[in-house]
Amino acid sequence: MGYAHHLPFLKGTFGTLGATLLYFLVYFTVGSELHIYFCLILFVIFTIVSYLTEPLAQSYLGNDDPPSFIIDEWAGFFGTILFLPPQINWIIYGFIAFRFFDIVKPPPLRRLEKIRGGIVWDDIGAAIYAGLTLQVVRYLITI
């Protein structure tokens, strides 16, 4: 996913930044009316590909949670912004919220790492936490 996996630190954050840049590239190319379809398709594709390639990455890189494996961050980012308004500020909030929940891993996210596909599922869980949190924020702003 670009060259983020070659960086010596913050690979997940830079990997998510790559997904954010992809989002903006497509957003400014096709417009906001296709936001939900675009995010849903990429969320599904990146989730499936990361789940299927996780065992290969673990074996090849010799690590249960290889820092260079960042496609799960892409799935998590697109899952986070899926139901957010297609506005730049909400996409940035989505980036921040996803990275927060992915790093902090509040319960039970850390437990998800123990199951098969766990390094993918903890990012999907972080996406759910981030997306729900931002929906609450949106609701509170409008009342």
pTM of this prediction exceeds 0.85: yes
Task: Tell me whether residue 5 is in a domain.
Answer: no
Q: Which residue has the tokens 């998590």?
A: 76
Task: Tell me whether residue 8 is in a domain.
Answer: no
Angle at 84 between CA 52 and CA 94, to 5 degrees: 65
DSSP code for 40: H
Domain, as residue range, for 82: 15-142
Q: How many structural domains comprise the chain?
A: 1
The C-alpha torsion from 20 through 25 and 29 to 35, rounded to 10°, is -10
In the chain (143 residues long), the average pLDDT of successive 10-residue segments reads 53 90 88 88 96 88 80 96 93 97 90 77 95 97 88
